[in-house]
Amino acid sequence: MANVALRDVRKTYPGGFEAIKGIDFDVGDGKFCVLVGPSGCGKSTLLRMVAGLETITGGEIDIGGRIVNQIEPAERDIAMVFQNYALYPHMSVYNNMAYGLRNRGMPGPEIESRVQEAARILEIGPMLERKPGQLSGGQRQRVAMGRAIVRQPKVFLFDEPLSNLDAKLRIAMRVEIRKLQRRLGTTSIYVTHDQLEAMTLADILVVMNGGHVEQIGNPLDIYQKPATTFVASFIGAPPMNLLPLRSDEIKSQIESGGHGAGEAGLLGIRPEDFVITSETVAGGVALNLTVEAIERVGAETFIYGSRRNETQGVAATPGELPPGEVIVRIPGAVAPAIGERIRAAAPREKLHLFSADGRKRIEL
Amino acid sequence: MVEHRRFGNLLPHLVLLAGVAIVAFPVYLAVIASTHDNTVIANGQMPLYPGSHGLETYWSTIVSGTGKTTRAPVGGMMLNSLIMAIGIAVGKIAISIISAYAIVFFSFPFRMTAFWTIFITLMLPVEVRIFPTYKITSDLHMLDSYAGLILPLIASATATLLFRQFFMTVPKELVEASKIDGAGPVRFFFDTLLPLSVTNIAALFVILFIYGWNQYLWPLLITTRDDMQTIVIGIKKIIDVHDALTEWQVAMATAVLAMLPPVAVVVLMQRLFVKGLIETEK
């Protein structure tokens, strides 16, 4: 059991490329920390630095009160689960789990009991004599977890462990990983690019982009109060609508709510925060949309609407949608027809304001 | 196959059988000749069925030597050939697997230079560097010794390249998992890399054993004593006799005996050999 602390951690490759640009955060004892971000944001590099598989070129990493910068991976008291599992193909499941313990000179009976215990927890008892090649993806995943568990390390490190599984299994394993981590109470750092995994697993969510941290916090806080437009569009699916605030109808609607929008340049509204209504919403924002496309997924429906006639000559926003396009999520399968004009409104407390460059959140 | 007509496979089979006959007939002839008396072969009318002198010929060839030509028995030559072939195969594999290990898994200054240097030696087989190699072997007093037969031949760029290609397909996570599991470079090599390379090693062993067994020029140069001769040279010497009738039955028996070990190696290791050449799953 241990906490992990990163202090101004940096990674510069010999070529001069700075992959990690000074990262600080703490993972408390027994907490589940998820690093999330798009490909190439440095999240895996950071995890590998904690593991000791990449050198640390600046700052300090502290595991359980010990600076580990110069300590070999095997001595850091960590266990890692890899994306491709990295099981030893020529060893049986039992030996895969026992290998690390044997290398540490642990006595046989102790190894036996630890492996059996891990096999029991993960329900892989009947497969102990098989080779990894004879197992399914989900079973290999369990063995990889077993190899981590038997070590009884201070920290578990997960590098996108579920991305090689099919969608259904991924959800099942996600729940299991969370349960297992709660049960063992081991501090964990988990890397993923899947925001849903990140939201569901994390005690502490670290959103990374381009080698630095965009926001750290409780997943729900991040969802409710994204600090930047990057976080706003990355966390939550479909992404938050980001509309430029100009001297147009939207701006006057916000200002008429009593407060000035101040320096805000962008307005964010999550698709799920809209309601389709003909009434006015006090202090909120209402948009007139032409329905362009509809996606019905059963429990909910996504409406892609355009405000084209109201946004003549507007440049692209830093968000992901083309200018003037808005996604609205409504429950159920009853939706307006394509081409219909609708009015989508969002209440005041669901509005997010950001500076024009998207780097700063402005409280309304 | 797509088609399953009754006579659809007839033509391919005929072609294959013809091929087999062309390859196998000389071998059959050698076996038959080795069972006949010398005079029967020499008069040019050797029958195509086995004669009655088989056991006698093989016995004298292997064990007692042939009285008329005062040659050493082939048994000793086979042993020499076997030691040389195994020595070359094992030596080549041992050296090339560790060179490939160094080149693929470690970063050190001039790593690529080392790789290309090894690569370039592909252009320098024994035949090309035969004088300097002979001089060195002679200066080291290794003429007429097993070391002299084996050592100059064991550097192998081909095997190093093969292992390098295989090692590069080993996922780097496996190395990292080993590191986290507390296995250093030596342990990783013996616990993980070597077991994974078994099929490759077997395939290479087959190829290199045959390469070693068939060596002619180098053993011819550096062995002068009869008791250090290899069987491939032995055949030649049995045929070259002066003022006497060539003992063709002995020469044929020797040729048959010379074929057996490579055939045995191929047959015994066939399964691993094929696996080693085609297997891709790691």
DSSP characters for B109-138? TTHHHHHHHHHHGGG--TTTTHHHHHHHHH
Task: Say whether A99 and B181 touch across the interface (CB within 8 A).
Answer: yes
Q: How many other C-beta atoms can be found within 10 angstroms of the C-beta atom of residue A309?
A: 9
Chain B residue closest to A97 (CA)?
Answer: B181
Mean pLDDT of all residues in A174-179: 91
Report percent pLDDT > 90 for chain B.
47
How many A-B residue pairs are in contact by the CB < 8 A criterion?
59
Confidence of residue A313 (pLDDT cuts 50, 70, 90): very low
Q: Which residue has the tokens 């496309």?
A: A293
The reply to whether ipTM tops 0.95 is no
Summarize pLDDT for A94-103 with one digit per residue, the tens. Answer: 999 999 999 9
State the pLDDT at residue A314.
46
A21 touches A41 (CB < 8 A): no
Q: Which residue has the tokens 């579920």?
A: A162
State the pLDDT at residue A30.
92
What residues contact B278, with CB distance under 8 A and at least 6 apart?
Answer: none
Query: Which chain A residues are closer than 8 Å to B192 by Cβ?
Result: 88, 90
- Contacts of the segment B256-259: beta carbons below 8 A, 24+ positions apart: B256/B27, B256/B30, B256/B31, B256/B34, B257/B58, B257/B61, B257/B62, B257/B74, B257/B78, B257/B231, B258/B78, B258/B81, B258/B213, B258/B231, B258/B232, B258/B234, B259/B27
Task: Say whether A88 and B281 touch across the interface (CB within 8 A).
Answer: no
State the pLDDT at residue A318.
43
Summarize pLDDT for B69-90 with one digit per residue, the tens. Answer: 556 788 888 999 999 999 999 9
For A52: left if phi > 0, alpha if psi spans -120 to 50, otherwise beta; the answer is left
- Nearest CB among B171, B179, B180 relative to A84 is that of B171
State the pLDDT at residue B180.
93
Task: Say whether A80 and B177 touch across the interface (CB within 8 A).
Answer: yes
Average pLDDT, chain A: 87
Angle between helices A108-122 and A167-184 in degrees, nearest 10: 130
Query: A324 and chain B: CB distance < 8 Å anywhere?
Result: no
State the pLDDT at residue A319.
42
pLDDT at A88 over 80: yes
Q: How many other C-beta atoms can be found within 10 angstroms of the C-beta atom of residue B267?
A: 10
More confident residue, A248 or B256: B256
Q: Which helix (H) or strand (E) holds A213?
A: strand A212-217
How far apart CA B221 and CA A197 sit, in angstroms, is 71
Residue spans of alpha helices (H) in chain B: 10-33, 38-42, 54-59, 74-105, 111-120, 130-139, 146-150, 157-168, 172-180, 185-188, 194-196, 198-213, 217-222, 231-239, 248-278
State the pLDDT at residue A146.
93
Query: B187 and chain A: CB distance < 8 Å anywhere?
Result: yes
Mean pLDDT of all residues in B226-252: 81
Query: Which chain A residues are closer than 8 Å to B183 by Cβ?
Result: 74, 99, 103
pLDDT at B142 over 50: yes
State the pLDDT at residue A353.
86
Task: Say whether A83 and B173 touch across the interface (CB within 8 A).
Answer: yes
Query: A25 and chain B: CB distance < 8 Å anywhere?
Result: no
Summarize pLDDT for A238-295 with one digit per residue, the tens. Answer: 889 888 877 566 666 666 655 555 667 788 899 999 988 877 666 778 888 888 889 9
Task: Say whether B176 and A86 touch across the interface (CB within 8 A).
Answer: yes
What residues contact A100, with CB distance under 8 A and at least 6 apart?
Answer: A79, A147, A150, A151, B180, B181, B182
Least reliable range by pLDDT among A205-214, A234-243, B55-64, B91-100: B55-64
Measure in Å the smallest separation between the Cα of B235 and chain A Cα atoms: 44
Query: B170 and chain A: CB distance < 8 Å anywhere?
Result: no
Confidence of residue B68 (pLDDT cuts 50, 70, 90): low
A residues 215-234 lying closer than 8 A (beta carbon) to B: none
Query: A74 and chain B: CB distance < 8 Å anywhere?
Result: yes
Backbone angles phi, psi at B240, to 5 degrees: -80, 85
Query: A88 and chain B: CB distance < 8 Å anywhere?
Result: yes
Query: Which chain B residues are closer than 8 Å to A84 by Cβ?
Result: 171, 173
DSSP symbol at A53: S
pLDDT at A315 over 70: no
Chain B residue closest to A157 (CA)?
Answer: B180
Interface probe for B, chosen from A49, A75, A90 (most Cβ of B below 10 Å), is A90
Backbone angles phi, psi at B96, to 5 degrees: -75, -30
Query: Which chain B residues are closer than 8 Å to A44 by Cβ?
Result: none
How far apart CA A88 and CA A130 sit, in angstroms, is 12
State the pLDDT at residue B91.
95
More confident residue, B73 or B267: B267
Radius of gyration of chain B (CA): 24
Least reliable range by pLDDT among A263-272, B70-79, B104-113, B118-127: B70-79
Mean pLDDT of all residues in A85-108: 93
Confidence of residue B155 (pLDDT cuts 50, 70, 90): confident
Chain B residue closest to A71 (CA)?
Answer: B180
Query: Which chain A residues are closer than 8 Å to B282 by Cβ?
Result: 89
Query: Which chain A residues are closer than 8 Å to B176 by Cβ?
Result: 48, 51, 53, 73, 80, 82, 86
Mean pLDDT of all residues in A144-149: 93
What residues contact A24, with CB distance under 8 A and at least 6 apart?
Answer: A6, A7, A8, A9, A213
Please work out, in degrees rounded to the nearest 5, the angle formed at the alpha carbon of residue A74 by the alpha carbons of A185 and A107. Answer: 80
Summarize pLDDT for A3-42 with one digit per residue, the tens. Answer: 999 999 999 999 889 999 999 999 999 999 999 999 989 9
pLDDT at A320 over 50: no
How far apart CA A78 and CA A59 sit, in angstroms, is 20
Beta strands A78-81 and A155-159 are parallel
Measure in Å the smallest separation between the Cα of B179 and chain A Cα atoms: 6
Chain B residue closest to A81 (CA)?
Answer: B177
How far apart CA A279 and CA B275 sit, in angstroms, is 73
Tokens of B16: 């294959």
Type of residue at B29 = L
Query: A90 and chain B: CB distance < 8 Å anywhere?
Result: yes
Task: Say whether B176 and A79 touch across the interface (CB within 8 A).
Answer: no
pLDDT at B206 over 50: yes
Query: Which chain B residues are closer than 8 Å to A52 by Cβ?
Result: 179-180
- Nearest CB among A52, A72, A82 relative to B177 is that of A82
State the pLDDT at residue B70.
53
> Which is nearest to A219 in space by CA: A238, A209, A234?
A234
pLDDT at B24 over 70: yes
How far apart CA B233 and CA A218 sit, in angstroms, is 81
Task: Say whether B183 and A103 touch across the interface (CB within 8 A).
Answer: yes
First vs last Cα of chain B: how many Å apart? Answer: 29
Query: B145 and chain A: CB distance < 8 Å anywhere?
Result: no
How far apart CA A73 and CA A63 sit, in angstroms, is 12
What residues contact A210, with CB distance under 8 A and at least 6 apart?
Answer: A21, A41, A42
CA distances from A321 to A23, A187, A309, A316, B71 (A): 30, 38, 16, 8, 91
> Which is nearest to A280 in space by CA: A307, A253, A305?
A253
Report percent pLDDT > 70 for chain B.
92
Mean pLDDT of all residues in B118-138: 89
More confident residue, A211 or B243: A211
Query: Which chain B residues are closer than 8 Å to A85 by Cβ?
Result: 173
Least reliable range by pLDDT among A162-166, A314-318, B128-132, B145-149: A314-318
A292 touches A305 (CB < 8 A): yes
How far apart CA B148 and CA B142 sit, in angstroms, is 5
How far apart CA A127 and CA A129 sit, in angstroms, is 6
> Which is nearest to A348 in space by CA: A222, A279, A254?
A254
Measure in Å the smallest separation between the Cα of A67 and chain B Cα atoms: 17
Interface probe for A, chosen from B175, B181, B280 (most Cβ of A below 10 Å), is B181
